[in-house]
A and B are shown apart, each in its own frame.
Chain A
Amino acid sequence: MAKKPSSLKNMLIALFVITAVSGGLLGLVYGLTKDAIAEVELQKNEKAIKEVLPLGEGITYTADTITLDDNGVTLSFPCNLARDANGTLLGAAIKTTEGGFGGNIELMVGITTDGIIKGVSVLSHSETPGLGANMEGKFKDQFADKKPGDNIILEVTKSHDGKKVDAITAATITSKAFTKAVDNAFKAFESNKSQLQKGGQQ
């Protein structure tokens, strides 16, 4: 087939038809995959909640939002509150985000009402593979069962006294951001705890 000459009419038709067909096709594919993607996201969320807050059976999770005043800036954290059959608050799985080295690090932190961090799960990040991305290992596990209220201060430090968080080698920014994110979630939960506990009994 010979090439069409580049007249205004031909160019307009070609561009219009190609963009219209592409747009229609994309809309179709989006419609077909939308539910599946939402389902995947939901499952990922649920899995993360169960992972960071293993409380056994018979627990109902309700979505909520808690806020924290950080030096005049109000941060809000989407969270899932875990209550037992009587409506007593047992803990919360809190979503927390902090800017890392390559973009935002999104974490899910599970905290119980007695102030213990049960676990942390990484929802998404874009840190350097082989460096910051190593957070999903030894580094992350350090946070499990920590009780920041006592003598443990959540702060990245070089000292190896076992009370503080050991940073990832060559990924200081990632380590600091990760720790800050967990810390924020903890503070937010602690400052909202009494109010949330009241809310459940009503």
Chain B
Amino acid sequence: MSNHLQTFTKGLIKENPILVLLLGCCPTLATTTTAVNGMSMGLATTFVLVLSNIFISLLKGFIPDKVRIPCFIVVIASFVTIVQLVMQAFVPSIYETLGLFIPLIVVNCIVLGRAEAFASKNPVFPSLLDGLGMGLGFTLALTLLGCIREFLGCGSIFGFTILPETANILVFILPPGAFICLGFVIAIVNKLKKESH
């Protein structure tokens, strides 16, 4: 049981996909302009990650090694498209904020990375836990980055204004701000990890 727990929790901090593994940086940099965008992107990715991990784990005996990557991509792309269609039909308000970013999940290296590194070698239940842990770790990192960038760039967090407009530092909303923030957050996380050892 403790083994299962570890499979789940390692994604949150110890092997956090963004802050430690540095996987999936493209959507991280692009979608964390506000806290809400970051969190929604994280949750949508978590959903796809869990489903693709489950199915790839189920299919692992059926897929020959040489064609595993195209098979994984087809499975992942199918789930992303299903998520997109369902969101468009039933939660149009969320789809409107996220619409542009959803197809990006297909090329997110965490999803393919976890399929390759974990789900294709492990049974279904640990794969599910791995996907969930990694997804939530991804969501956590994206929300944190989104909060920092929204606070510094727009003076608000989750849309609630905290600082007046004059205190906004525009660069944090723009792409360079994403790199600066990510760098500092990784540095702080590394420092904290070292101290806790």
Contacts and interface: CB of A to CB of B under 8 A. Distances in A.
Given A128-B33, A129-B33, A18 B74 contact: yes
A14 B102 CA distance: 27
A2 B154 CA distance: 54
A4 B37 contact: no
Interface in B68-94: 70-71, 74-75, 77-78, 81-82, 85-86, 88-90, 92
Given A14-B62, A22-B78, A36 B71 contact: no
A26 B81 contact: yes
A60 interface: no
Contacts of A11: 64, 66-67
B82 A15 contact: no
Contacts of B170: 130-131, 170
A192 interface: no
B173 A131 contact: yes
B107 interface: no
A2 B62 CA distance: 9
A90 B110 CA distance: 55
A148 B153 CA distance: 35
B65 interface: yes
A33 interface: yes
Prevailing SS type, chain A contact patch: helix
Contacts of B20: none
Given A22-B74, A22-B75, A37 B66 contact: no
Nearest to B97: A129
- Indicate the size class of the contact surface on chain A: 20 to 34
A129 B71 contact: no
Contacts, number: 83
B64 A130 contact: no
Contact of A26 (B78, B173, B174): B78
Given A15-B70, A18-B74, A25 B82 contact: yes
A3 interface: yes
B71 A15 contact: yes
Given A26-B82, A131-B170, A36 B90 contact: yes
Contacts of A15: 67, 70-71
A54 B34 CA distance: 33
Contacts of B92: 40, 44
Interface string A1-45: 111111100110011011100100110011001001100100010
Nearest to B61: A1
B192 interface: no
In this complex, the member of B60, B62, B170 whose beta carbon has the largest number of chain A beta carbons within 10 angstroms is B62
A4 B61 contact: yes
B100 interface: yes
A18 B92 CA distance: 30
Interface of B: 33-34, 37, 59-67, 70-71, 74-75, 77-78, 81-82, 85-86, 88-90, 92, 100, 150, 153-154, 170, 173-174
Instruction: Please list the 6 inter-chain residue pairs (A to B) with the smallest Cβ-Cβ separation, ordered nearest first.
Output: A1-B61, A36-B89, A6-B66, A33-B89, A130-B173, A22-B78
